[in-house]
Amino acid sequence: MGLILLGSSLLANLLFLSKDQQLLSSAPHVQPAPYFEEELVEGDDSQEKRIAKIDLFGVIAQEIPGQIGSSMVDDLILQIRQAADDDSIAAILLHIDSPGGEVTASDNLYHELTLVRPNKPVIVYLDSVGASGGYYTAMGGSHIMAHELCLTGSIGVIMQAINYEGLSKILGLSTLTFKSGALKDLLNPSRPASEAEKKLVQDMVAETFEKFSSIVVTERDFPDQKLPTEVADGRIVSGKQALDLKLIDATGYLQDAIADAREIAKLP
């Protein structure tokens, strides 16, 4: 078995683009598809079937620039698709070390994994942190392992706003706002939030939480389609506790996740 890391190769991509732009000078609107270079990190290159290791580290956000795509999320999706389309890849190992991030970005990554797993096993390993959006993304895996001391869970949604009305009064500052509708300046920090604003935001939080929790209870096959009471309040849990609560399938080290991926993919 060989283990490969799908790491970005910006230089190689630029050379590829440069070469093709010369070849396609008569059709400048045609652009070659971006790709990632495969770097062998374990085993040898003679193996017909290998495991692709993809890293999801840090905050999950569309605003974070990518190395090839427009964002780090786009980069991850490109890597997942490349591994899915590569016949030499027998399984994908997604290595997550993330406290979470944007819910839409997390949902997009989760969705991408669900498209792959019917045809190719997706093993997820939660390292130091795999919480909130990191755990949301992990739900797309066929098999989830976490380090015993990993911080995971945090199944919930939070929205916060800063209000500096009191500070403005001390400084003698005032704000004049012209708006087309009552909620156009939602959560304006220069004034107290209205009850209508609070209800609107809380309803949005509740709707998003319903989506998140429904994915968890479905993917983890919880009885009565309900989250365990131990995590329904949004708390974090350790990897060991997550296993006891059936939030994950196993605990272990990264090498154990690689071994599981090899076994699930039926590699020697």
How far apart CA 93 and CA 251 sit, in angstroms, is: 15
The one-letter code for the residue type at 124 is V
Nearest CA-CA partner of 215 in 157, 146, 136, 145: 136
How far apart CA 157 and CA 208 sit, in angstroms, is: 7
Q: Could you confirm whether 240 is annotated as catalytic?
A: no
List CB contacts of 109: < 8 A, sequence separation 6 or more.
56, 60, 73, 76, 77, 80, 137, 140
Pure H helices in 86-194: 103-116, 133-138, 165-171
Contact 133, 160 (CB under 8 A): no
The one catalytic residue among 98, 132, 154, 213:
132
The one catalytic residue among 184, 226, 246, 266:
184
Nearest CA-CA partner of 145 in 126, 121, 130, 117: 126
Q: Could you confirm whether 132 is annotated as catalytic?
A: yes
List CB contacts of 113: < 8 A, sequence separation 6 or more.
80, 94, 122, 137, 140, 141
Nearest CA-CA partner of 54 in 133, 132, 116, 103: 116
Contact 144, 96 (CB under 8 A): no
Across 34-88, the runs of DSSP E, i.e. the strands, are: 37-42, 50-57
Residues carrying an active site annotation: 132, 184
